[in-house]
Amino acid sequence: MIQTGYADGNKIRLLHNGSEYFTALEQAIDTAELEIHFETYIFKNDLIGHKIAAALIRAANRGVSVYLLIDGFGSYMLPDSFIQRMLDANVKVLVYRREVLFFKLRRYRLRRMHRKLVVIDACIAFVGGINIIDDFEQLRDEQIPRFDYAVLIEGPLLKKIYAATQRLWLIVAWAHFRKRWANNIKLQPTGEYKGNQFAGFLIRDNIRHRHDIEQAYLEAIHNAQNEIIIANAYFLPGIYFCNALNKAARRGVNVILLLQGRVEYRLQHYATHALYGNLLDAGIKIYEYSKGYLHAKVAVIDRYWATVGSSNIDPFSLMLAREANVVIQDKILANQLRASLKQAIINESTLVARTGWQSKSWLYHATNWLSYYVIYYAQSILGYGQKKTNHNSNA
């Protein structure tokens, strides 16, 4: 196991979808006394965006130091006037790699800040996959939220989480010539025990932690004895990850994948389908979530090991973006997450039948594989620039 970043004595609460997350987040912001660190890939100009922005402004108005970091690609559509309103209220806002020419292909475009982290007063933290965006906006007629998770954390793990948010803020602040903003950070988490859960905080960056999240997955899969359930919105792993799942299934582990059923990004959707045949042949069960949009990035293994975070299992998350996941070794939380996933699998998803999949036309399968190679080629061009890197080399 990757032990760096793990700590005992934590109290971790699972949050289902935006309805639970946004309520808990707003309450936590309103109780902040000293400092808020906030990182999100998408901060949208909608009902939820205005609600959370208003809470951050209220905090700043009562003297709380508020540091908001948004991604320049994910939050590209956020109006300057929206940001200026927060700046005028003394909310410190930085944009990670701001996009200037959105439709121009540029090298390294896919190296984004995809994390969703909030740390309040260095004593509680939120980590997960939920952006600041109205859950119901795109499915207004059906009133079905995006299927996603986050966790609320108290305890010694805050030392790791706070250090990561502080470090990234300092890097971006210096890059934006905001030295004064960088020097105002002073808090230190106490490390006090709040519960009895053993958990790790794992990040993915392009320096020291390039493969930590993927390696944690692979180690847990290799050690699995009974069951693996992975729910992932954008599932496009390399050969080592696929082989690990196939080997687990062939040694008798019940491997279940809950994947995107609705077509959200067509190229990604077809590329993922290119992998179905090999996975189904190994005995892996694939379910497609069809009730709404799946946005989760979670897994439960042997009813004990669980992960919740921002990292998809695709080239963007595993090789390019800044990501953050929490790994929890705790039967209670793992079974809570498992029960939620099983409910979605049984009542809200469709099983992909192996025989039906094999009978699809050659043109359909060819389209899938073409999409697969297009994505990896685009990733190599927009992600790595002139240096071409084998997408299977990071296991």
Is 116 noted as a catalytic residue in this protein?
yes
Q: Which residues of 226-258 are buried (b: 16+ CB within 10 A; e: fewer)?
A: eebbbbbbbbbbbeebbbbbbebbeeebebbbb
CA angle 247, 249, 255 (to 5 degrees): 130
Q: Which of 44, 92, 116, 273 is catalytic?
A: 116
Q: Which of 71, 121, 135, 148 is catalytic?
A: 121
Q: Which of 302, 314, 330, 391 is catalytic?
A: 302
Domains of the chain and CATH, by start: 9-182 (3.30.870.10), 200-384 (3.30.870.10)
Q: Which two tokens stand for residue 20?
A: 């639970």
Q: Which of 273, 295, 330, 391 is catalytic?
A: 295
Cα 191 to Cα 274: distance, rounded to the nearest angstrom: 46
Q: Give pLDDT, residue 390.
A: 35
pLDDT tens for the chain, residues 1 to 395: 445 679 999 999 999 999 999 999 999 999 999 999 999 999 999 999 999 999 999 999 999 999 999 999 999 999 999 999 999 999 999 999 887 655 555 555 567 999 999 999 999 999 999 999 998 755 555 668 889 999 999 999 999 999 999 999 999 999 888 888 886 777 889 899 999 999 999 999 888 898 999 999 999 999 999 999 999 999 999 899 999 999 999 999 999 999 998 877 788 888 888 899 999 999 999 999 988 899 999 999 999 999 999 999 988 888 889 999 999 999 999 999 999 999 999 999 999 988 877 778 878 778 887 887 787 776 665 554 434 333 333 33
- φ and ψ at residue 6, rounded to 5 degrees: -100, 150
Cα 142 to Cα 384: distance, rounded to the nearest angstrom: 40
Whole-angstrom CA distances from 11 to 84, 108, 158 are 36, 38, 11
- 3-state DSSP call for residue 35? strand
Cα 232 to Cα 309: distance, rounded to the nearest angstrom: 10
- 3-state DSSP call for residue 147? strand
Is 391 noted as a catalytic residue in this protein?
no
Q: Which of 37, 44, 92, 114 is catalytic?
A: 114
Pairing between β-strand 227-232 and β-strand 254-260 as defined by DSSP bridges: parallel
Whole-angstrom CA distances from 320 to 111, 225, 230, 242 are 5, 31, 21, 19
Q: Which two tokens stand for residue 372?
A: 């697969």
Is 114 noted as a catalytic residue in this protein?
yes
Is 134 noted as a catalytic residue in this protein?
no
Q: Give pLDDT, residue 180.
A: 85
Q: Which of 37, 194, 297, 391 is catalytic?
A: 297
Q: Give pLDDT, residue 379.
A: 67
Is 222 noted as a catalytic residue in this protein?
no
- 3-state DSSP call for residue 340? helix
Would you give the distance in Å from CA 207 to the centre of its chain? 19
| pTM, to two decimals | 0.91
Is 121 noted as a catalytic residue in this protein?
yes
φ/ψ region of 177 (left if φ > 0, alpha if ψ in -120 to 50, else beta) reads left
Q: Which residues sit opposite 286 in a β-bridge?
A: 257
DSSP state letters, 167-236: HHHHHHHHHTT-HHHHTT----------SSEEEEEEEE-SSS-SSHHHHHHHHHHHH-SSEEEEEESSB-
